[in-house]
Amino acid sequence: MGNSIQIERKNLGKSGDYFTLVLYSLIFFIGFLSIFWEWKSGIVSVICVIASYFLNRKINLIVHLKWFSIALVLLALLVSWLLQLSFWIFIIQFLALSCIHAVIAFIAAIRDDHTDIIFSLNADNFSCLCPGSDYKGYALNPMGYRKYFKTKDIDSIQQDERGLLIVVKGEILRPRELTASEITQILAYFNAGEAKVVEAIPLRDTRQAETELAWVKILVFGVPCLLAGLSIYFLGDNGQNTVVSMISILLAILLVPLLLKLVNRRKHRPENK
């Protein structure tokens, strides 16, 4: 197998950027509307957001996130004491309005065109996009799931109606983003090199894993939406209580990554034993 294969995609991951942009825009919009409900706290939050923008240009606040969080809590305590404002409303408004920074950053990222290698293969190494069950992280940053392997470690390779399956040292990989013609090209590469192209794994195991993934999607996104709806209806007086409704929506948004983290931790726990 002396030749090589390299498959590229242009602007891969922009759909994830659009999703994240909409998410941050929604949170910012909720924070913006809250200014009309609690204008004193809102004005102070806007001033602090502007100040954090200029501070971030000199100091990377993400790197010093711990100290910035402590400073934010102390500032919230001081502001709530001096101006008789609600501590939690100020914190929530500041965090929601701070999403404008992420909105600006993602707009710039969407405008920037780029090309990424989604699959490469030669006699020594190969790489592909294989996120496993972490579909949320893959949707937001697909190139972060590009993994590298030794070609000699490939046990077998096969194709089914859902795409390509590769077994590497007993581990099942399903490379993403490949078209039918590209899969044919990859299989032809192995056939030319007299590599095994067989159904080495039961497809039932793969179907079971994909079914579990579908239930995870329902759990991670359905439960927060259901809880938010019930909270708005019963606790928020069917949306008439603006504060409770806003908090319910924000908590539902924050609950999604928390559930994903718990699901991933539970999934990998047996593997670590």
pLDDT in tens, 218-273: 777 788 888 888 888 888 777 777 777 778 888 888 887 787 777 767 655 544 44
Q: pLDDT band at 64, cuts 50/70/90?
A: confident
pLDDT at 130: 84
Domain residue limits, the chain: 17-111, 117-201, 204-260
Place of tokens 């065109």: 113
Binned at pLDDT 50, 70 and 90, residue 136 comes out as low
Element of type H or E holding 149: strand 146-150
CA 31 – CA 125 distance, rounded (Å): 49
Mean pLDDT estimate for the chain: 78
pLDDT score, position 269: 56
Is 1's pLDDT higher than 80?
A: no
Counting residues of the chain whose pLDDT is more than 70, the rounded percentage is: 83
| Residue 177 near residue 129 (C-beta atoms within 8 A) | yes
Q: Is the pLDDT of residue 138 over 60?
A: yes
Q: What percent of the chain has pLDDT over 90?
A: 1
What average pLDDT does this structure show over 112-130? 86
Average pLDDT of the residues in 64-93: 81
Q: How far apart are CA 97 and CA 170, in angstroms?
A: 48
The pLDDT assigned to 198 comes to 46
Mean pLDDT, residues 119-145 taken together: 79
Q: What is the Cα Rg of the chain in Å?
A: 24
Closest CA to 98 of 77, 59, 72, 78: 72
Q: Give 40-45 contacts, CB < 8 A, sequence gap 24+.
A: 40/83, 40/85, 41/85, 41/86, 41/89, 41/90, 41/93, 42/93, 42/97, 44/79, 44/83, 44/85, 44/90, 45/90, 45/93, 45/94, 45/97
Residue 129 DSSP SS3: strand
